Chain A
């Protein structure tokens, strides 16, 4: 049986090298799908990723009991061996945010500017995903013991690769409260139970039936011993230096729940490098003539970084479509090297 997530699924053997070189920034689902598409067409593909291993959140965010990392590793090996894709891990491509602001930046040893990449490659495709956690926006968020979903989950997987800087959160015997009811909230609660937390409660502002992860996931969590607190919103995190309690407002009015660890798993926001310069807002609105191309010629964008946090499948699709668009663009340019859109032409309604 098939043991790999085969990013080279479109063909048996790649076309002969076509002499073009592309850089893919980000080795998550959309980056790997784009690498597979372009590698199969005979492109020399260079993939850059800030993490020590390709896979993105499929490897570092989603727990291995959901996505076996061996399948991703095997898929990456196919890209390397049969398509000749080169992976440059622990390399961060310069970002609008300062280093160490996003989860996973700790791993980067090397930094490259986007301009450098654009100069050295025929085209660049940005697939950096959404790595910045949405904050709760309540008092006490800076206290020790407060995590976002990703901050809590990421080190559990990443500690294997760098034991000096990465530590699995210590929740043994502690009272853990998870805020949110999406899949990452469920994964965080599972992980906390797995790490021997004394008590795990999930706080959600709406009811079980409204939960994005579904009642099935919640019931499974409750079977494992977690507590479900619905129709309740957090209003403040209390404590001096460390978390001591979570103040919540629910149907019974205001009350405080004792807590040693609070995990706010309420989603991520995209982290595009140079969002303004790339004109991502226009691409999102579908306001460009050339699919998935940014305001900079030859620079394309795909996946969660463009459309916000979604699903592996959406990212894969976006990666494939952007790669196809990139190949079509370079083909057109090779027929007529002068072909390029004027500023007026690029946007359907003229420059907004």
Chain B
């Protein structure tokens, strides 16, 4: 198995320019990283963290979300039956699974699976002008975390999950 990789967005470096969303939409038809504006005006992208212990994968009764060789949580569209409750959307702590209006019921980031097959990195990380979106080994995330990035992440979590209390 190759090194487990994931996406890490340093929200304190992000300027909300929407380049990640734009390039994701360009290559995937519909973007799988989504810009949001918190109440205090911080523009940040919601993105799949490809969690080690992924709630979305656990709650999916069809087992449609699986981990691939690089550690990316991939939605197997043919298995997703579009359950009425959309459990995966509810389970995701980062608001990174999106309901669709047509076709497969949900869409999510697969860390640019077909690009990785060809030795390329996810497009959002390639094109971020600020270096805020990073494609890194999972165990490097901790090193990349700073006081500022944590503060900004906290602000984002407060916005998408107002009731959740995070450790100080």
Contacts and interface: CB of A to CB of B under 8 A. Distances in A.
Interface of A: 1-3, 5-7, 9-12, 29, 58, 62, 66-68, 71-72, 183, 211-217, 219, 311-314, 316-317, 320-321
A23 B18 CA distance: 26
Contact of A316 (B22, B37, B119, B125): B22
Contacts of A214: 37-38, 40-43
B139 interface: no
A313 B21 contact: yes
Contacts of A7: 127
A71 B129 contact: yes
Contact of A12 (B17, B19, B118): B118
B27 A313 contact: no
Q: Which among B20, B22, B38 has the greatest number of chain A C-beta atoms within 10 A? A: B22
Dominant SS among interface residues on chain A: loop
A320 B126 CA distance: 15
Contacts of B18: 311-314
A66 B128 CA distance: 12
A211 B125 CA distance: 29
Contacts of A71: 129-131
B135 A2 contact: yes
Q: Which among A5, A68, A212, A316 has the greatest number of chain B C-beta atoms within 10 A? A: A316
A-B pairs with lowest CB-CB distance, top 10: A214-B41, A313-B18, A317-B22, A312-B17, A9-B126, A313-B22, A313-B19, A216-B40, A6-B126, A215-B40
B92 interface: no
Q: Which among A12, A58, A214 has the greatest number of chain B C-beta atoms within 10 A? A: A214
A10 B27 contact: yes
A247 B22 CA distance: 42
14 contacts: A2-B125, A5-B129, A67-B15, A67-B129, A214-B42, A215-B39, A216-B38, A311-B18, A313-B19, A313-B20, A316-B19, A316-B23, A317-B26, A320-B23
Contacts of A320: 22-23, 26
Given A1-B136, A12-B118, A12-B120, A72 B22 contact: no
Contacts of B38: 214, 216
A58 B40 contact: no
B92 to A, nearest CB: 23
A183 B131 CA distance: 19
A29 B127 CA distance: 10
B95 interface: no
Contact of A313 (B17, B37, B118, B120): B17
Given A314-B22, A316-B22, A72 B134 contact: no
B130 A66 contact: yes
B93 interface: no
Contact of A2 (B17, B20, B43, B126): B126
Contacts of A66: 15, 130
Contact of A1 (B20, B39, B130, B134): B134
A66 B131 CA distance: 10
Nearest to B118: A12
A332 B121 CA distance: 32
A2 B121 CA distance: 9
B123 interface: yes
Contacts of A217: 41
Contact of A6 (B16, B127, B134): B127
Given A1-B136, A10-B27, A317-B26, A312 B129 contact: yes
Contacts of B26: 317, 320-321
B119 A12 contact: yes
B17 A216 contact: no
B24 to A, nearest CB: 10
Interface in B33-66: 35, 37-43
A5 B131 CA distance: 8
B9 to A, nearest CB: 13
A97 B84 CA distance: 58
Contacts of B126: 2, 5-6, 9
A7 B113 CA distance: 19
Given A217-B41, A321-B26, A316 B130 contact: no
Contacts of B118: 12
B42 A216 contact: yes
B22 A215 contact: no
